[in-house]
C-alpha cells in the first residue's frame, strides 16, 4: 500500500494526513494528547479534507477534551493499583514508602515514589513529574549532541515543557526545542524520532515534501516510530466518511 504524508493546520488544530490506497476517509483522535490524524484516499483534494475536519470539529474537540480530562484525573489519584509507563514499559506504582526526602526509582517492575509521611496525591504527582522531566533531559542530551553534526544544525537550548497537544516543538527564532515530559513514558526510539524531527525543523519549518525527504534521508523508519509514539493504552476513536460521499 503506497502512502504519502502531509500536515495541515485547521481551526488552530494540527492534523496529520496520510494518503493511502483506501476508499474511505477516516478521522482519528489519538490519546494521550488528542492528536488528530486523517487517512485519506489517494488524490483526495486538500479542500475536501479541510471541509471534513471543519464539519467534525465539535466531535474532535469533545474527544480531545475527554482524553485530556481522563489523563488528568488518572494522574491525580496516584494509587498503588495504577500502572504508569516509563520508557515504553509498564510498571506497578508503589507509593507506600515514606522518608524525609522525595525520590523516585524503578526496582524490578515497580516504580517506587518515596515522599515524606502525609504527602497527598498532588505531592506524589509533583514528585513523579519532576522525575520524568529529569529522565527526559538526561536521555535527550546525548541524542541531541549526536544528531546535530549528522544533520548539520545546532540548537541553542533544549527545554522540557508540558504541552497539551504536542509532543514537541521547535522555536526556530531562538533555536530552542521544547519536549513534552510525557515523552519519558514512551519508548526511547520515539524520543529519537522527535529529536530528529525537531532538528530538521531548523532547516525546514513546514511538513511538506522537503521535510519528508530529509526525514527519509536521516531516519528512514521515522513513520513507524511516529505511529508507535501516537499509540497509547487508551483506545482511540474513529469517525468514518464513506468514499462515495467524498470528492477525491
End-to-end CA distance of the chain: give it in Å, rounded: 17
Structural domain contains residue 207: no
Structural domain contains residue 7: yes
Sign of CA pseudo-dihedral 189, 135, 195, 76: positive
Structural domain contains residue 81: no
Whole-number average pLDDT of the chain: 85
**pLDDT tens digits, one per residue of 172-197:** 899 999 999 999 999 999 999 999 99
Structural domain contains residue 162: no
Structural domain contains residue 176: no
Residue 112 has pLDDT above 90, yes or no: yes
Spatial neighbors of 206 by CB under 8 A, at least 6 apart, are 7
Structural domain contains residue 53: yes
C-alpha cell at 239: 469517525
Number of domains in the chain: 1
Structural domain contains residue 52: yes
**pLDDT tens digits, one per residue of 45-100:** 999 999 999 999 999 998 888 877 766 555 556 677 788 899 999 999 998 888 88
The three-state secondary structure class of 241 is strand
pTM (predicted TM-score): 0.68
**CA triplet 233, 75, 78: central angle to 5 degrees?**
110
Structural domain contains residue 57: yes
Spatial neighbors of 91 by CB under 8 A, at least 6 apart, are 83, 84, 85, 106, 109, 110, 111
Domain that holds residue 47: 1-75+238-248
**pLDDT tens digits, one per residue of 139-152:** 999 999 999 999 99
Amino acid at each position: 500500500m503506497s502512502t504519502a504524508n502531509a500536515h495541515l493546520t485547521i481551526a488552530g488544530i494540527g492534523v496529520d494526513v496520510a494518503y493511502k490506497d483506501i476508499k474511505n476517509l477516516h478521522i482519528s483522535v489519538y490519546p494521550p494528547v488528542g492528536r488528530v490524524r486523517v487517512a485519506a484516499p489517494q488524490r483526495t483534494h486538500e479542500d475536501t479534507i479541510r471541509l471534513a475536519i471543519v464539519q467534525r470539529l465539535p466531535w474532535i474537540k469533545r474527544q480531545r477534551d475527554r482524553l485530556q480530562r481522563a489523563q488528568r484525573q488518572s494522574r491525580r489519584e496516584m494509587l498503588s493499583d495504577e500502572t504508569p509507563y516509563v520508557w515504553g514499559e509498564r510498571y506497578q506504582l508503589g507509593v507506600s514508602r515514606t522518608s524525609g526526602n522525595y525520590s523516585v526509582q524503578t526496582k524490578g517492575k515497580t516504580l517506587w515514589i518515596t515522599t515524606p509521611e502525609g504527602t497527598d496525591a498532588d505531592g506524589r504527582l509533583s514528585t513523579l513529574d519532576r522525575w520524568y522531566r529529569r529522565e527526559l533531559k538526561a536521555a535527550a542530551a546525548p541524542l541531541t549532541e549526536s544528531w546535530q553534526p549528522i544533520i548539520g544544525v545546532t540548537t541553542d537550548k533544549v527545554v522540557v515543557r508540558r504541552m497539551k497537544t504536542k509532543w514537541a516543538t521547535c522555536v526556530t527564532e531562538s533555536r530552542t526545542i521544547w519536549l513534552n515530559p510525557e515523552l519519558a513514558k514512551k519508548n526511547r526510539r520515539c524520543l529519537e524520532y522527535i529529536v530528529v524531527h525537531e532538528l530538521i525543523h531548523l532547516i525546514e519549518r513546514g511538513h511538506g515534501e522537503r521535510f519528508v525527504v530529509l526525514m527519509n534521508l536521516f531516519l528512514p523508519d521515522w513513520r513507524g516510530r511516529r505511529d508507535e509514539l501516537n499509540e497509547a493504552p487508551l483506545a482511540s476513536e474513529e469517525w468514518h466518511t464513506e468514499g462515495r460521499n467524498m470528492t477525491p
